[in-house]
Amino acid sequence: MGFEIMNITFIAMFISIAFLFKKYYLKEINPMAGYKTKKSMKSQKVWTMANSYSSDLLFRHTLILPVIQIMLYFIYGRLVALFGMLGIWILMLISTIIQTESFLKKSGF
């Protein structure tokens, strides 16, 4: 029962963080938080586009996470579901960065 609660807690935490980034993405260049790459910090316009796009993408990616975790749980068990979910979360973060950088490049930045 402890693993199930931990899994649910992680999922709720990831979805909450992604929702907060989506809802309240930083609108001004900030050295402490937000989507920060060399390209995204070029100008205020690029910063706004990058943070808006990446936060929306991260939120959509995170909503897929519970479905994957449930599948892993029923196929492989609790431990694989927990660590698999953490690994997939990291891959989703990397995917968000790659897709955001590609979006900025296609936008001419």
40-65 residue pLDDT tens:
888 999 999 999 999 999 999 989 98
pLDDT value for 106: 95
Instruction: Say if 64 falls within a structural domain.
Output: yes
In this prediction the pTM is: 0.81
Instruction: Say if 26 falls within a structural domain.
Output: no
CA-derived radius of gyration, the chain = 16
Q: What is the mean pLDDT of residues 28-49?
A: 87
Instruction: Say if 57 falls within a structural domain.
Output: yes
Please tell me the total count of domains within the chain: 1
Instruction: Say if 68 falls within a structural domain.
Output: yes
Among residues 14, 35, 10, 24, which one has the least CA distance to residue 100?
Answer: 35
pLDDT value for 1: 64
- Quick one: pLDDT band at residue 99, thresholds 50, 70, 90? very high
Instruction: Say if 9 falls within a structural domain.
Output: yes
> 73 lies in which domain range?
2-14+42-106
Cα distances from 82 to residues 10, 22, 67, 75, in angstroms, run 9, 25, 13, 13
Tell the residue number behind the tokens 């990616």, with chain if given: 61
